[in-house]
């Protein structure tokens, strides 16, 4: 606790569901907040060998915002040298070998990569932790470079502006609400599909470049498969139930994208491209996994913040996602939770804060003061847009924090979940604070008799840890690691 770019690889269901609380935000590059617009990126062709200065200006302006939104940069000399070597080979094999790139490792546990015009490419340490070989990381970077060389940011901005004009025209001219909804939905689907086509095109260009640079072209479908398995673990799905992305998503569904990636990789004819699994694992041995100490820790169903000095626990069935702005959690019944800081001045009235107008549909009769773990607090209920809400604000030392729960389902079940979570809020002892340490990836050699189950027991305890272990190591459901190979485990020491 303390965003995503145009072309991200993975999105969290917890973050999506928590939008129901109407408080979550994400990093965007819209023209309204100083981002990319079609007018800013020159429509005329840039002479070969030259970079459009408008693209570079956009990237330089947005770069500090992105770094700040993702918790800063992550410093790791071995990883930086590996990425520099990969980029050099990919640039030489790319459609624009004269272009220069700046690749930044972001200090985020999310599995994410994206690109800006002008050759700024970003990968997160979470992505590096999930990858199992150099070819997989090269596949991600090559994909993002393809977005740059294909000028997808401009094309997407141009399409979005045209869609906005069309939508406004529909609203101005068409009086029938039903006809308006159909027309606007058609525009949304068209724009979404346009973005999906860009993703598939970037995969095709990226895999071709990957093979030309001498890397294993199957690194792309391998990493996509690991991503889908990690998503299944994160969302509480069966190991091979990767589902599909919403039809209005900017990304194609996993099966479609995987099928194309496999086909394109086979079409390259490259069967002996460089994989470099052992070299890669040696370089990321010790990389931080999961939350940065400055943003607190998720340990199973608990969230603990050593620096702020508190902890709380969500009920069984909830999955926690710790972001730079808030702690989010969801369960399979559609209950969403958001925990974050509350802007309450020291000594001011908590009831006054709850009734100050930021809660839509507030039930004024429900607002009351309570004590939580001996701390002053206030709670309230609200209902708006088909959602039922439960809210608590707690004063802790000189700060205030708030819980927000929302559901479209059973209000009684929401009450039980809300009450148990809020009641679990507590101070951490000095011993607990001292014992907390960031998680790290450690690379170990599989011994005779080792299984996914035995190796998982060597990791810090995690829900469905075996599924996570397999996802981190590129293993299929029920597949066992081979003795003598090296694998990643997650430890706290």
Distances, alpha carbon 212 to alpha carbons 49, 173, 184, in Å: 20, 52, 42
Strands 120-124 and 288-289: unpaired
pLDDT of residue 54: 77
Residue 202 has pLDDT above 60, yes or no: yes
**Phi and psi, residue 290, nearest 5°:** 80, -145
Using DSSP, state whether 217 is helix, strand or coil: coil
pLDDT of residue 294: 84
Residue 180 has pLDDT above 70, yes or no: no
For residue range 234-283, what is the model confidence (pLDDT) as tens digits? 877 787 765 543 333 445 556 888 898 999 999 999 999 999 999 999 99
pLDDT of residue 243: 54
For residue range 344-391, what is the model confidence (pLDDT) as tens digits? 887 789 999 999 999 999 999 999 999 999 999 999 999 998 999 999
For residue range 61-102, what is the model confidence (pLDDT) as tens digits? 889 988 988 889 999 999 999 999 999 999 999 988 988 888
Over residues 416-427, mean pLDDT: 96
Query: Bigger pLDDT: 311 or 95?
Result: 311
How far is it, in rounded angstroms, from Cα 133 to Cα 485?
13
How far is it, in rounded angstroms, from Cα 370 to Cα 210?
60
How far is it, in rounded angstroms, from Cα 364 to Cα 351?
10
DSSP conformation letters of 321-332: EE-SS-EEEE-T
Query: Cβ neighbours of residue 430 under 8 Å, at least 6 residues apart?
Result: none
pLDDT of residue 151: 66
Over residues 106-128, mean pLDDT: 88
Residue 111 has pLDDT above 60, yes or no: yes
> Rg of the chain's alpha carbons, rounded to an integer?
24
Strand-pair partners of 337: 329, 405
For the sheet with 486-491, list strands across it.
Answer: 288-289, 439-445, 486-491
For residue range 131-172, what is the model confidence (pLDDT) as tens digits? 999 999 999 999 988 888 876 555 454 444 443 443 344 344
Confidence class for position 21, pLDDT limits 50, 70, 90: very low
How far is it, in rounded angstroms, from Cα 312 to Cα 337?
12
Tell me the CB-side half-sphere exposure of residue 189, using CA atoms within 13 A: 7
How far is it, in rounded angstroms, from Cα 444 to Cα 454?
13
Q: Which ranges of 268-410 does DSSP label H, i.e. alpha helix?
A: 277-284, 350-354
Over residues 15-34, mean pLDDT: 29
Strand-pair partners of 406: 336, 389
For residue range 442-469, what is the model confidence (pLDDT) as tens digits? 999 999 999 999 999 999 988 889 999 9
Tell me the CB-side half-sphere exposure of residue 378, using CA atoms within 13 A: 18
**E strands of 117-272, at which residues?**
120-124
Distances, alpha carbon 285 to alpha carbons 71, 180, 225, 447, 490, in Å: 21, 55, 22, 18, 10
The mean pLDDT value of the chain amounts to 80
How far is it, in rounded angstroms, from Cα 337 to Cα 327?
8
Whole-model pTM: value is: 0.73
Containing 173, the helix (H) or strand (E) segment is: helix 152-173
Task: Decide if 200 contacts 260 (C-beta within 8 A).
Answer: yes
Task: Decide if 299 contacts 428 (C-beta within 8 A).
Answer: no
Residue 178 has pLDDT above 50, yes or no: no
Residue 181 has pLDDT above 90, yes or no: no
Over residues 178-182, mean pLDDT: 43
Please give the DSSP secondary-structure letter assigned to residue 290: S
Query: Bigger pLDDT: 315 or 152?
Result: 315
pLDDT of residue 430: 95
Strand-pair partners of 115: 121
pLDDT of residue 5: 30
């Amino acid at each position: 606790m303390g965003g995503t770019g145009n072309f991200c690889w993975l999105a969290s269901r917890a973050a999506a569901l928590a939008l129901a609380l109407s408080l979550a935000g994400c990093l965007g590059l819209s023209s309204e907040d100083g981002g990319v617009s079609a007018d800013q990126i020159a429509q005329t062709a840039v002479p070969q060998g030259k970079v459009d200065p408008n693209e570079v200006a956009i990237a330089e302006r947005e770069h500090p915002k992105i770094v700040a939104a993702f918790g800063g940069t992550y410093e790791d000399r071995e990883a930086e040298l590996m990425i520099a070597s990969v980029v050099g080979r990919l640039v030489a094999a790319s459609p624009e070998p004269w272009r220069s790139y700046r690749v930044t490792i972001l200090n985020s546990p999310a599995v994410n990569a994206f690109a800006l015009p002008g050759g700024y490419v970003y990968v997160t340490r979470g992505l590096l932790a999930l990858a199992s070989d150099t070819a997989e990381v090269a596949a991600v970077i090559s994909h993002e470079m393809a977005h740059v060389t294909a000028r997808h940011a401009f094309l997407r901005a141009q399409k979005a502006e045209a869609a906005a004009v069309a939508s406004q025209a529909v609203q101005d001219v068409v009086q029938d609400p039903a006809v308006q909804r159909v027309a606007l939905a058609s525009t949304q689907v068209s724009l979404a599909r346009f973005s999906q086509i860009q993703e598939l095109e970037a995969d095709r260009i990226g895999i071709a470049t990957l093979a030309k640079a001498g890397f294993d072209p199957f690194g792309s479908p391998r990493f996509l498969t690991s991503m889908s398995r990690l998503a299944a673990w994160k969302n509480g799905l069966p190991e091979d139930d990767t589902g599909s992305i919403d039809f209005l998503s900017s990304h194609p569904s996993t099966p479609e994208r995987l099928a194309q990636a496999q086909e394109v990789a086979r079409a390259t004819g490259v069967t002996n491209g460089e994989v470099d699994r052992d070299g890669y694992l040696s370089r990321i041995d010790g990389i931080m996994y999961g939350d940065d100490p400055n943003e607190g820790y998720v340990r199973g169903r608990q969230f603990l913040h050593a620096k702020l000095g508190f902890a709380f626990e969500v009920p069984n069935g909830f999955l926690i996602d710790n972001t730079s702005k808030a702690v989010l959690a969801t369960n399979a019944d559609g209950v969403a939770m958001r925990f974050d800081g509350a802007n309450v001045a020291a000594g001011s009235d908590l009831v006054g804060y709850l009734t100050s107008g930021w809660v839509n549909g507030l039930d004024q009769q429900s607002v009351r003061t309570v004590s939580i773990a001996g701390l002053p607090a206030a709670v309230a209920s609200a209902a708006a847009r088909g959602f039922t809400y439960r809210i608590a604000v707690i004063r802790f030392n000189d700060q205030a924090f708030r819980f927000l729960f929302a559901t479209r389902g059973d209000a009684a079940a929401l009450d039980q979940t809300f009450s148990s979570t809020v009641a679990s809020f507590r101070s951490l002892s000095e011993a607990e604070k001292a014992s907390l340490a960031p998680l790290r990836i450690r690379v170990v050699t599989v011994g005779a008799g080792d299984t996914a189950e035995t190796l998982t027991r060597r990791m810090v305890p995690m829900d469905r840890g075996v599924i996570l272990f397999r996802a981190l190591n590129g293993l299929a459901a029920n597949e066992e690691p081979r003795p003598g190979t090296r694998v990643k485990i997650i430890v706290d020491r």
